[in-house]
Amino acid sequence: MKKRTMFFRMITASLIRRRSRMFIALLAIAVGATILSGLTTIYYDVPRQMGEQFRNYGANMIFMASALNEEGLTSDILEQGLTQIPDSKIVGCAPYRYETVTINNQPVIVAGTDLQGVSKTSPYWFVDGEWPSSNGQILIGKQIAETLSCGIGDTLLMTYSEEAIENPEQPDEVPDRGLNADAVNIEFTITGILDTGGNEESYIFMSLEDISELTGEGPYDVCELSVSASSEELTGYVDNITSRDLGITPRLVKRVTQSETTVLTKLQSLVFLVTIVVLMLMMICVATTMMAVVTERRKEIGLRKALGASDRSIVVEFMGEGMMLGAVGGLIGSFMGFAFAQAVSVNVFNSTITLRPILVPITIVASVIVTGIACLIPVRRTTEVNPALVLKGE
Amino acid sequence: MFLRMVKGALTRQKGKMVMIAFTILLGASLATAMLNIMFDVGDKVNQELKAYGANIIVKPKDNSVLEDLYEVDGEDEIQSSYLQENEIGKIKTIFWTYSIVDFAPFLETTADVNGTAVTVTGSWFNHHLSLPSGEELDAGIVGLRSWWDIEDGQWLDEKVNPDGIMVGTTLAQTLGIRAGDRITLTTDNASKNLLVVGIYNSGADDDDQMITNLDIVQELANTGDLISSIEVSALTSPDDELAQKAARDPMSLSVSEYEVWYCTAYVSSICYQIQEVIPDAVASPVRQVADSEGAIMEKTQLLMILITILSLLGSALGISNLVTASVMERSNEIGLLKAIGAKDGAVSSLVLTEILITAVIGGIAGYFVGYGFAQIIGKSVFDSSIEMKPIVIPIVSVLIILVTLAGSIPAIRMLLKMKPAEVLHGR
């Protein structure tokens, strides 16, 4: 008991009395530990954070009515399908209904959709003007806007009738739309022009309520989903939904999922390798600093030996000192590392990360081991030396 | 005498100096590796993002929406305007020609296969181009459709199978076609007997279609050397304010802004340059690809910059720590020098010279070790070497010298303040 108290007193006294030197060693360990915990946190967080960035590419899964499903993709069926995917994984969901209507007797494709969902599934849509905010407002593709030569603020009169759609090539047979009893005429205001560089530019987009008013109720044609998950998870969801026979055929948008997996794997292995290289070098840096600090105390070791201390007791004392430094440095470092990872996350990805408690003990243990090994080598070498020689100074 | 003392210190205290040099080597290699990777990561990630396909689409100017509309109605496609096939090569003559990674022309038509009407697309697969500039390259959809799964057979090779065709998986199932079969495509203009080289799965609408060599479709559609669109995959810089302003109207820029914009690989400036060489065309960015690429590259670069800063800080602290420790250790020697009458200036220049010589040796060795690390990372992650950026050399040298000085000067000053008698006495 007494021995142990003495041991701790020796360690703490030596740490406190040689304050500046110990501070240097502690700093080195703390920086090493900061890098260890910071980079590991970032490494684990990169797939999630980058995955969110990849959702910019738009929907990676689509739901369609399966061949046997006669009702089509109704909102009930869609709802059931969505319950198979965890809410937290769904970034956005946009069901679409496509109908053909006529404007000035010209056929035009109109898509009814949940416009808020679209802004999440297709963040790359560039809208000149504003997104529609109330009923009676529409978003018009750039190409079709040029053909119809209309701009923001203009109104378009759309006509929907079963007959006109069935015989679109002879619109002249219905000279006066008013005479057609089935036809629905609604005037819409253009609030924005859509620029995507893709097919969307030749469609007109409106809310689901508006399209129901214009063309009557109907099932969705397709539902786009943006799911933040790895390709294995996505395939899992697809298999699950297919096997449950909900009347939905889920499909993965290969271009998005496959490419995302490729790029994400590369990015993660980049961060991984960088982490390994940085860690390796930092560990060696910590070790050389500790070696320098211990080598300096050869005189003290020689004196102890001359006074009759055993090699073992000297090694144990120095190791105890080093490990204590390692533990304190590791503790400081693990929190500084978290602060660094948090700063990276906020600056780069605009989101926060949660502390991984498991990293704190791992960091501490790693720094204790590194400092322990770093101390052991010079202490060992010193104890082998003849005390008389050491004390003499050479 | 000064040189002899420095030399003596360096050779006699070999062990200690080697340790300092080693630490500096580690720090320098870390800094070199991280800086090289940081400067190159944009290009590398950009290359990877090419997996998403074309980010620019070139269409004829007057191509109205008529095509899309009539297609819906089941009518024959009436495309009012086309691009000339011989104009495609001009894409490789623009200012940012090295940014153009791949491109392919497209032409679609409807043909009859055993009584079923199918959409047939004509394109290049691995088309060999010899440019007027003397450059030779292979362009085509093999690179632009990297996500396609070839379920049966293989990619079409233009040289091996000039009469080959690839069929989408859904269509292949409907028609009962497998790789190796021969099918006959008939239109009003021509009839072709083609060999099915591969069945592809694209996970999109293309699965209901067929794709074959461009000239076959041109014959089927009787369009001569015309094409309907070109897809271009280009390496681009992320958009910033200037690019957004230019995208609205390039003419609104001032002369100097215009120069900067024109000479930066923004997607909008590349589009503009394509329109300059192909006058009847409209080149527009495919926003799904172009915008997302910009966002992802920006994030990756920022991430790497922050990691680099952390490692630079870490290596700086590591080096200055060790330098401080090693200078403090020499209190006896410095005390002795002072006791026999050395001036403060002489003592500090002696110690500093020794440390700096060690630092330079360590730094040079570290640069090459770090370059090696960067190459290992480049090879294993991106399968290509990391470009050696000259700017890294001055950055690393300045960093090493500053850090060494910052580590040694406070320690030297502290030692100089001590009285020689006290130092020599040992406490």
pLDDT in tens, B259-305: 888 888 888 888 888 888 888 888 888 877 777 777 788 888 888 88
Residues 6+ apart with CB under 8 A from B156: B125, B164, B165, B166, B197, B198, B211, B212, B213
Dihedrals phi, psi of B419, to nearest 5 degrees: -80, 135
What is the least distance, in Å, from the CA of B81 to any CA of chain A? 15
Q: What pLDDT is stored for residue B63 in this prediction?
A: 52
Provide, as residue numbers in chain B, all residues whose Cβ is less than 8 Å from the Cβ of A34: 310, 314
Percentage of chain B surpassing pLDDT 90? 2
Inter-chain residue contact B318 with A143, CB threshold 8 Å: no
Say if residue B406's pLDDT is above 50.
yes
Cβ–Cβ < 8 Å for A26, A333? no
Say if residue B138's pLDDT is above 80.
yes
Is residue B60 within 8 angstroms of chain A, CB to CB? no
Q: What pLDDT is stored for residue A320 in this prediction?
A: 84
Inter-chain residue contact B313 with A31, CB threshold 8 Å: yes
Burial of A47 (0-12, 13-18, 19+ CB in 10 A): middle
Inter-chain residue contact B318 with A282, CB threshold 8 Å: yes
Say if residue B39's pLDDT is above 80.
yes
Enumerate residues 130 to 189 of chain B having a beta carbon within 8 A of any beta carbon in chain A.
Answer: 146-149
> Bigger pLDDT: A365 or B136?
A365
DSSP-derived secondary structure letter, A296: T
**A231 and A274, same domain (yes or no):** no
DSSP-derived secondary structure letter, A73: B
- The number of C-beta contacts closer than 8 angstroms across A and B is 222
Q: How confident is the model at residue B62 (pLDDT cuts 50, 70, 90)?
A: low
Q: Which of A252, A282, A312 is the last residue of a domain?
A: A252
Say if residue B157's pLDDT is above 60.
yes
Inter-chain residue contact A292 with B288, CB threshold 8 Å: no
- Selected residue of A261, A262, A269, A270 to mutate for chain B interface (largest B Cβ count, 10 A): A270
What is the residue range of A348's domain? 3-53+261-391
Residues 6+ apart with CB under 8 A from B395: B31, B35
Q: What pLDDT is stored for residue B65 in this prediction?
A: 42
Provide, as residue numbers in chain A, all residues whose Cβ is less than 8 Å from the Cβ of B49: 259, 263
Enumerate residues 254 to 293 of chain B having a beta carbon within 8 A of any beta carbon in chain A.
Answer: 284-292
**A290 and A354, same domain (yes or no):** yes
pLDDT digits (tens, 9 = 90+) for B194-240: 889 889 988 777 888 899 998 888 888 888 888 888 999 888 887 77
**A183 and A41, same domain (yes or no):** no
What is the total count of domains within chain A?
2
What's the number of CA atoms in the CB half-sphere (13 Å) around residue A242? Answer: 12
**A217 and A359, same domain (yes or no):** no
Q: Read off the pTM.
A: 0.75
Q: Which residue of B has its CA nearest to A196?
A: B287
Spans of all domains in chain B: 2-47+294-424, 55-285
What is the least distance, in Å, from the CA of A1 to any CA of chain B? 33
Say if residue B71's pLDDT is above 60.
no
**A286 and A311, same domain (yes or no):** yes
Q: Which residue in B19, B149, B295 is closest to A291 by CB distance? A: B19
Is residue B386 within 8 angstroms of chain A, CB to CB? no
Cβ–Cβ < 8 Å for A228, A83? no
Q: Which residue in A126, A199, A256 is closest to B287 by CB distance? A: A126
Enumerate residues 67 to 86 of chain B having a beta carbon within 8 A of any beta carbon in chain A.
Answer: 68-69, 72-73, 75
DSSP-derived secondary structure letter, A86: -
Question: What's the average pLDDT block by block, 10 residues per block, for chain A (394 residues)?
Answer: 72 69 79 85 81 79 79 82 84 87 84 87 84 87 84 86 54 46 80 84 88 84 86 86 83 80 82 80 75 74 81 82 87 90 84 83 88 80 72 61
Provide, as residue numbers in chain B, all residues whose Cβ is less than 8 Å from the Cβ of A202: 65, 68-69
* Other beta carbons less than 10 A from residue B217's beta carbon: 27
Token pair in block for residue B389: 């950026």
**A232 and A127, same domain (yes or no):** yes
| Residue B229 bridge partners (DSSP) | B106
What's the number of CA atoms in the CB half-sphere (13 Å) around residue A347? Answer: 15
What is the least distance, in Å, from the CA of A2 to any CA of chain B? 30
Is residue B62 within 8 angstroms of chain A, CB to CB? no
Inter-chain residue contact B287 with A125, CB threshold 8 Å: yes
**A77 and A184, same domain (yes or no):** yes
Q: Which residue of B has its CA nearest to A21?
A: B325
**Residue A83 falls in which region: left (phi positive, over 0), alpha (psi -120 to 50) or beta:** alpha
Enumerate residues 344 to 363 of chain B having a beta carbon within 8 A of any beta carbon in chain A.
Answer: none
Say if residue B76's pLDDT is above 60.
no
**A198 and A265, same domain (yes or no):** no
Q: Which residue of B has its CA nearest to A110?
A: B69
**A9 and A34, same domain (yes or no):** yes
**A126 and A23, same domain (yes or no):** no
What is the least distance, in Å, from the CA of A25 to any CA of chain B? 8
What is the least distance, in Å, from the CA of A182 to any CA of chain B? 20
Widest Cα–Cα separation across chain B: 109
Inter-chain residue contact A273 with B310, CB threshold 8 Å: no
Inter-chain residue contact B381 with A107, CB threshold 8 Å: no
Q: Which of A252, A272, A287 is the last residue of a domain?
A: A252
- Selected residue of B271, B310, B333, B408 to mutate for chain A interface (largest A Cβ count, 10 A): B310
Say if residue B395's pLDDT is above 50.
yes
Provide, as residue numbers in chain B, all residues whose Cβ is less than 8 Å from the Cβ of A266: 45, 48, 381-382
Q: What pLDDT is stored for residue A17 in this prediction?
A: 65
**A241 and A199, same domain (yes or no):** yes
Q: What pLDDT is stored for residue B425 in this prediction?
A: 67
What is the least distance, in Å, from the CA of B160 to any CA of chain A? 27
Inter-chain residue contact A343 with B33, CB threshold 8 Å: no
In angstroms, the CA A61 to CA A349 distance is: 24
Cβ–Cβ < 8 Å for B215, B169? no
User: What is the ipTM metric for this complex?
Assistant: 0.74
Inter-chain residue contact A254 with B204, CB threshold 8 Å: yes
Is residue B423 within 8 angstroms of chain A, CB to CB? no
What string of H, E and C letters represents the secondary structure of A207-254?
Answer: EHHHHHHHHCCCCECEEEEEECCCHHHHHHHHHHHHHHCCCEEEEECH
Q: Which of A219, A252, A285 is the last residue of a domain?
A: A252
Provide, as residue numbers in chain B, all residues whose Cβ is less than 8 Å from the Cβ of A338: none
Q: What pLDDT is stored for residue A289 in this prediction?
A: 75
Q: How confident is the model at residue B79 (pLDDT cuts 50, 70, 90)?
A: low
Q: What pLDDT is stored for residue B365 in this prediction?
A: 92
Provide, as residue numbers in chain B, all residues whose Cβ is less than 8 Å from the Cβ of A36: none
Provide, as residue numbers in chain B, all residues whose Cβ is less than 8 Å from the Cβ of A147: 64-66
